[in-house]
A and B are shown apart, each in its own frame.
Chain A
Amino acid sequence: MSPALVLGASFAYLALLFGIAGWAERRARGRRSVIASGWVYALSMAVYCTAWTYFGSVGRAASGGVWFLPIYLGPTLAMLLAWVVVRKMIRIARRQRITSIADFVASRYGKSPLLAGAVTLITVVGIVPYIALQLKAIATGFAVMTASGAGVGAALVHGPGAWWADGTFYAALLLAGFTMVFGTRQLDGTERHEGLVAAIAFESLVKLLAFLAVGAFVTWGLFGGPGDLFARAAAVPELRALLTLGSDRFGYAQWLALTLLAMLSVLFLPRQFQVIVVENVAERHLRRAAWVFPLYLLAINLFVLPIALGGLLHFGPGQADPEAFVLSLPLAAGAQTLALAAFIGGLSAATGMVIVEAIAVSTMVCNDLVMPALLRLRRFRARSGGDLTRALLAIRRAAILALLLLGYAYYHVAGEAYALVSIGLISFAAVAQFAPAALLGLYWKGGTLRGALAGLLAGAALWAWTLLLPSIAKSGWIDDGFVREGPFGLAWLKPEALFGLQGLDPLTHALFWSLLVNVGLFVALSLARAPSAREAAQAALFVDIDIDAEVDATAGAAAGGAGAPAFWRGRALLSDLQPLMRRFLGAERADALLAEHARRVGVASVQDLRADAALVQFVETQLAGAIGSASARTVVASAVQEEPLALDDVMRILDEATQLRAYSRALEAQRAELQRAGAELRAANEQLQGLDRLKDDFMSSVTHELRTPLTSIRALAEMMADDPAMNVAQRQQFVAIIVAETERLSRLVGQVLDLAKIESGHAEWHDEAVDLEALVRRAAAAMEAPLREQGTDLRLELQPGLPPLRADADRLLQVLTNLLGNAARFVPRPGGVIRVQLRAEPAGATVRVQDNGPGVPESERARIFVRFQQGAGAALRPGGTGLGLAICRRIVEHLGGRIAVGDADDGQGACFEFTVPWRAAQEGTSP
């Protein structure tokens, strides 16, 4: 493929990134942020996947099988705890305007400039190989893409030539320029970059899609699917070994070491800290990103093994560079477009990492290495005037350029000797040194500056001795005699077998020693002396931060820590503090921030602000956003008259803050309690209202039911009174109706009284032996005549020989009569069928009354047992009082049984079923 085409595509892609960043920033200014989402947040975290993942994983898989995976399982482990640990880090960083990992560690241990500088130095040294890795990947990729057609597969990259003729050098310069434009356009107090995050998220999408496309192409295009691919690989003994762990005695130790290493790196690599903690828009986004990010890692690793095996099968082992399989496989198969897309994906992975890493590290270098040095110079002293924001930007730009040139230099020197993955692991091991101070510092208040500093320096020294120097020596740049025989022939100091410890691979060996000494010194020195006042103050702010308290969703709103304890004593003047803010933040921003602070504390104008501890704290926090907390501390200390903070003061301030917090928590609890009580009252009120409504309904139903028969009785009686000449037959008929209506009236009144008696518990209950079968027959006999009259067929299916029940016979008869009467009302006339079944069950005697009427719909089944709540169809069927079923239910329940309604056996009609328990049946007298 022609170099012009590849270069053109690359430039077009970088231009597109610019466009996206610009678009995102315009949207942000219009308050329609594109990055305020858990999905974009997760994609920006995927800047973790660099050229190492894109090219290096395949190379690793081609030689070690599944050993590429721990690097991605580690971050998954970290994300399992993200909601616990990372959220705390985010909250602390926001509260204290922390903008880098160096700042984070230094802040925890009393805002020590020394510690911040140490962390920064270790980062720069540790991260340079990692940047070199990206440059190497771009160079290799470019070489593979532009190699002449015949040698595509065999395009092993030759070493770089002189630097001025090396395209990689210019690529480094280009990336530096690109990063400057992205990251240092303005100085933001929170170091957040809306456009950058949007561009990085887009890059993550591009590299994932490109890699998946290549994976699918290899698996289904070059081979007949995964089954075919793996079957062919399993047929080759060398490849079969790649499909298992193939470990020796120490294999699993290395597996664990790699997993833990990656777990720490995903939190403490400068770029990861930048995207996860500094660029976080709202804490709640972490809820989604914590599982989407591991899912992204899983997806991008899905095809690593297939591509590696596919490349080995296609080219033959040792015939081509496995780290370039992603490009060389599509090229060899003639899929030019796909190869170009794959190259763009790789470019995405590399540039994304370089840009974010360089921005993060340049912030650290500026704030924690250059600023402390400048602040020692007279003309940078806090009391002198002048706006420093432009100088700050210039320092950052220079730092970015320097970092990329260092990366290029490392690539030039050592880049050829090592695989991508090995280079990256060196950097991982470096940043892992921050873990003890940072993680233990989050949960243990006893850690001190001396402990952190000693642990960090010793760990870093061991890392350099056991990992970095050997890597340089192996590249032939320095004599590797000390690696083979030990310095001055001292074998016990051999970098890769320290104190004679053998058997571990170099990485696990280095990690073990450096972290052991790091943690050991940290704990030992911390315990040797109690924390100073300032250390204790910062420890309290870190460890005791209330992780469950509500926070403002928008970034920065909580910064400045209204309500946070102010650890400061002394005298300050507003006329000292205001110029200080203007110098480092620019006049406009400084005045706006002060005005907002004035509004928050409730004074009319900035000039009325009292220069108290809270204001000093506010100014220091705002400055920390621009120049780091350690430098901000130095600057503020030089501008105001401070009194040294005593441990007692810290304890007193903490006490006050704790009391305040306890007080507000108590208020909160009280409010919640009130709310709950209110809800209960509301519910009780609703229930009472419901009961009241029911009573009204009951009254109106009763009066309605009473009035109907009364009306007809009165009408007939009046007719007879008015017409004395009425013939006897007519009179007889009227009297008969009056008698029937009166019966109905007394039945209704009787039922109402009955129900009231049962409900109030005043009913008389007999306890006698009942022969249920006889009872059913009695009820049936009573109903037989009217049923025959309406053409209904009554069938009894009674199980003979049932033992007697202990119950009230009259009440049970009432239930049976009610149920039969109810069924009679609903069966068709003629052609009605009522079946009464009786059988013994373990729980008691069960009676079922089935009819072939319209049945009771599901929605009404609970309702019909409520008094006066008749089923929807009941209005059309005269004769019901609306009390029968309610009485039945009361009686059955009083006897300890259950009554329910369902579908009849044949699905047609209703089936009322009630069960009465045997109770003391065996004690009763036999009939």
Chain B
Amino acid sequence: MTKILRRIVFFFFVAVFFIGAPKIVFYALGYSYRHGSESGLVKSGLVYLSTTPPGATVYVGGRRYRDATPAIIRDLLPGNYPIRLVLKDYEAWAQTVPVEPAKSSVLGKILLHPKKPDWSMRLSDQYEDIVLVPDTKYFLLKKKNQADAVQIYDWKEKKAKPFEDDPAKVQSFFKAKRSVDDTIFLLDENGKFSSGRGGEVIVKQSVLGFLYDKKNHKTVIWTKNAIGLVEKIKPKKELGVLQGSWSVQWVFKQGQRISQAFWAHDGACILFQDQSKVLMLELETFGAPATYELLETKYQSHIFYSDESGEVFYLDKKSGNLMSLEVIPKWKVLEIPFTLLQEKEKEAKVARV
């Protein structure tokens, strides 16, 4: 190969680099070229949408987008975009998503609701209540006035067995487990909720319970009427004293008698019980969190939910049978792409209620 030809090839590649490199940089930073009368470079943003289950058709402003979820819609000029997700056998999902220049609007854990809920009857006996045993694969089932009044239920294996021990021991075990979370937060009998280390009072009274999500470092608290997210904020110095390193964002205030709450869908939802209703509160939103009812349970009984199984266990309203409802279809949860594995949980801009 002659020297001249080699040089031509070399300079061709050099030219490709110097033409291509700026284009790639601009594209990576979210700039796009606007055609028409106002032609020029504009700084665009993007929207990332991922649903459970995946494969939902995406409509942006009524126009169908080429990719199904998970999808990245890029080159969007700043503004608000009505987005609708449609998947067969699931309720349509719709929201207005704001797009800011060079920013990504992430809705990475959208939970689509099936049109026909997937209920299963697990045990046909008549039960009185469910007692939680945190950090184990069991919960207890209480019957009324019978010899085998308590049963252990393995929610992973979906099997029950009689519990011959003293139920009081179970209660003490339950309390002992709670102390793990108490190193971070403290909750006294009057409902005063404070931080475990600094002793800072976060809520003065009425808190009935809290749940700390170790994986996502998020905490939910509940009172009789409300559900709140506990957030760490940068402490401010006022008169030389550090003030308020924690704040509570109340995301639900219409409760009647909230008794339980669970983190669901990897911190994107809160599943809670209000009187005999079990509701789901969706936090993955740029608007006000949406709440919808999942089921009704037996009067004054508790429920159990684990994100590991994606099922909520409850007692049937009429028969008292142990039932389960698949809330998160685990086999349909999309394996998150590698690049997003390390994604810090996007703090969806949840509006104060």
Tell whether A pairs with B: no
**B residues within 8 Å of A by Cβ?**
none
**A residues within 8 Å of B by Cβ?**
none
